[in-house]
């Protein structure tokens, strides 16, 4: 297995990946390393995931490890819960996050609560992957992000990558985590041919495995005047806005902010800052810290 570091940064990485390639890269590596990791979802075999979340996996693994399943989210998301409680490390995909409605019980009453309710007699080391977000006029049943819905479920860890670097490190961390993790990828950031991504999510990505600690926000830009805590697509929008403001600001003040890869997790401690920052800037701790 490739060596694992915690959050090594992009220095020295000589390949750039889209977010979807980085996500699949981590899944592939985890599946090679551990036979107990498998992927279930609709159209994840031959199609490779509607939003490229499993593109190429079928070349590496058999159909019993990359599984197309019936359009029965309650059954297969719940089956992931059961397989996880049996000690496996399943990854189950809900194609659009808006579809969680049809299987919400398995998500919030089983996946999120079984650890607590069993007094840790069981745990649920699974990952629920799901595409989020709009920007392409797909209306209210196919466009939400629902970050808050998941983040407010006690027992659930939620990660939201905003770059390819995040996407890989957070996937490694999610699969290895002994708690259930919801991995929410924004369609507009994936680098899908038919949905052009903004500049930004495509980043250098180290070849070796690395994890990014869940529950810590990332500082995307240092500054002293404004703090913007955001996630997913809006990290890039906020960074763009900061560039614009910095360019137009007077010499008297520099206008910039701190930007986050937001990984609202279950840390009972406030999230640590990744970068040194002056005392005038506020930390960007997750607002959702469900009790544990």
Active site residues: 142
CA 291 to chain centre: 21
Question: Strand, coil or helix: what is 48?
Answer: coil
Interaction of residue 287 with other proteins, rule CB under 8 A: no
Partner in contact with 227, chosen from other proteins, ligand TPP, none, beta carbon below 5 to 8 Å by kind: none
How many chain residues bind ligand TPP (CB under 6 A)? 6
Partner in contact with 119, chosen from ligand TPP, other proteins, none, beta carbon below 5 to 8 Å by kind: none
How far apart are the C-alpha atoms of 271 and 140, rounded to whole Å? 33
The full length of the chain comes to: 292
Q: Which residues contact 238 (CB under 8 A, 6 or more apart)?
A: 228, 230, 257, 259
The site string for other proteins over 56-95 (x = CB under 8 A, - otherwise) reads ------------xxxxx-xx--------------------
Stretch that binds ligand TPP, among 24-32, 94-102, 132-140, 170-178 (CB under 6 A): 94-102
Out of 1, 2, 15, 71, the residue judged to bind ligand TPP by CB under 6 A:
71
Q: Are 124 and 115 in contact (CB under 8 A)?
A: yes
| Largest pairwise CA distance in the chain | 62
Burial of 192 (C-beta count, 10 Å sphere; 0-12/13-18/19+): buried
Out of 16, 34, 43, 207, the residue judged to bind other proteins by CB under 8 A:
43
| CB 67 to ligand TPP: min, Å | 14
How far apart are the C-alpha atoms of 153 and 151, rounded to whole Å? 6
Q: Are 97 and 132 in contact (CB under 8 A)?
A: yes
| CB 139 to other proteins: min, Å | 5
Q: How many CB atoms lie within 10 A of CB 56?
A: 17
CB closer to ligand TPP out of 53 and 267: 53
How far apart are the C-alpha atoms of 27 and 57, rounded to whole Å? 8
Closest CA to 179 of 161, 158, 156, 198: 156
Interaction of residue 98 with other proteins, rule CB under 8 A: yes
Site for ligand TPP in 258-287 (CB under 6 A): none
| CB 95 to ligand TPP: min, Å | 5
Interaction of residue 194 with other proteins, rule CB under 8 A: yes
CB closer to ligand TPP out of 2 and 71: 71
User: Which of 4-30 are b and which e, b meaning 16 or more Cβ less than 10 Å from the residue's Cβ?
Assistant: eeeebeeeebeeebbbbbbbbbbbbbb
Structure tokens that stand for 110 in this block: 């089983």
CB closer to ligand TPP out of 50 and 245: 50
How far apart are the C-alpha atoms of 85 and 141, rounded to whole Å? 31
Site for other proteins in 140-169 (CB under 8 A): 140-142
Interaction of residue 75 with ligand TPP, rule CB under 6 A: no
Enumerate binding residues for other proteins (CB under 8 A). 42-43, 45-47, 50, 68-72, 74-75, 98-99, 101-102, 135-142, 193-196
Which residues are near ligand TPP by CB under 6 A?
42, 71, 73, 95, 99, 102
């Amino acid at each position: 297995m490739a060596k694992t570091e915690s959050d090594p940064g992009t220095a020295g990485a000589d390949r750039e990946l889209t977010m979807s390639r980085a996500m699949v890269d981590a899944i592939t590596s985890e599946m090679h390393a551990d036979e107990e990791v498998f992927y279930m979802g609709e159209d994840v075999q031959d199609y490779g995931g509607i939003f490229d979340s499993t593109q190429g996996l079928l070349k590496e693994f058999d159909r019993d490890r990359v599984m197309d399943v019936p359009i029965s989210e309650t059954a297969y998301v719940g089956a992931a819960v059961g397989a996880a409680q049996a000690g496996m490390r399943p990854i189950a995909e809900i194609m659009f996050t808006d579809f969680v409605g049809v299987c919400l019980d398995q998500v919030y009453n089983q996946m999120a609560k079984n650890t607590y309710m069993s007094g840790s007699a069981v745990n649920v080391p699974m990952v629920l992957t799901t595409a989020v977000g709009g920007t392409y006029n797909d209306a209210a049943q196919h466009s939400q992000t629902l970050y808050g819905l998941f983040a407010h479920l006690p027992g659930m860890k939620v990660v939201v990558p905003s770059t390819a670097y995040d996407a890989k490190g957070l996937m490694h961390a999610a699969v290895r985590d002994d708690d259930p993790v919801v991995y929410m990828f924004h369609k507009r950031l994936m680098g899908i041919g038919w949905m052009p991504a903004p500049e930004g999510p495509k980043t250098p990505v180290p070849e070796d495995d690395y994890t990014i600690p869940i529950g810590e926000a990332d500082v995307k830009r240092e500054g002293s005047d404004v703090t913007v805590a955001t996630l997913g697509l809006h990290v890039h929008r906020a960074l763009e806005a900061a560039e614009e403001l910095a360019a137009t600001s007077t010499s008297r003040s520099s206008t910039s902010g701190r930007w986050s890869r937001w990984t609202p997790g279950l840390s009972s401690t406030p999230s640590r800052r990744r970068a040194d920052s002056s005392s005038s800037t506020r930390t960007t701790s997750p607002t959702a810290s469900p009790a544990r």
